[in-house]
Amino acid sequence: MFVFAAFLSSAIMHTRIAPHWVQDVARFNPFEWAIVAGRQALQDSPDWAAVWSNLGMLAALVIAMTWLATLAFRAYQRSA
């Protein structure tokens, strides 16, 4: 899964020169959010709005996945 996410992001090739469907997938790829945040933060004059917006999306994803994992674990505990 990790390799698939990396290929559908700008980690290997910039999405501007990728096919249109790869651009669409990369827009919703959390791996891409991390790549963009890291690249922007390391530039000479970083775009902090892009950094914080991508980090915010990653934080929201972490919160949502933590909530879902907690629900799944509670359901598993009730069934055992």
- 46: amino acid identity, one letter: P
Residue 51 is given by DSSP the state: H
pTM for this prediction: 0.81
33-73 pLDDT, tens digit each? 999 999 999 999 999 999 999 999 999 999 999 999 999 99
Q: Which residues contact 6 (CB under 8 A, 6 or more apart)?
A: 12, 31
Domain borders along the chain are: 2-79
Tokens found for residue 22: 């790869």
| Among the listed residues 55, 57, 24, the one whose alpha carbon sits nearest the alpha carbon of residue 37 | 55
Structure confidence at residue 71 (pLDDT): 97
Measure the CA–CA gap between 34 and 64, rounded to whole angstroms.
17
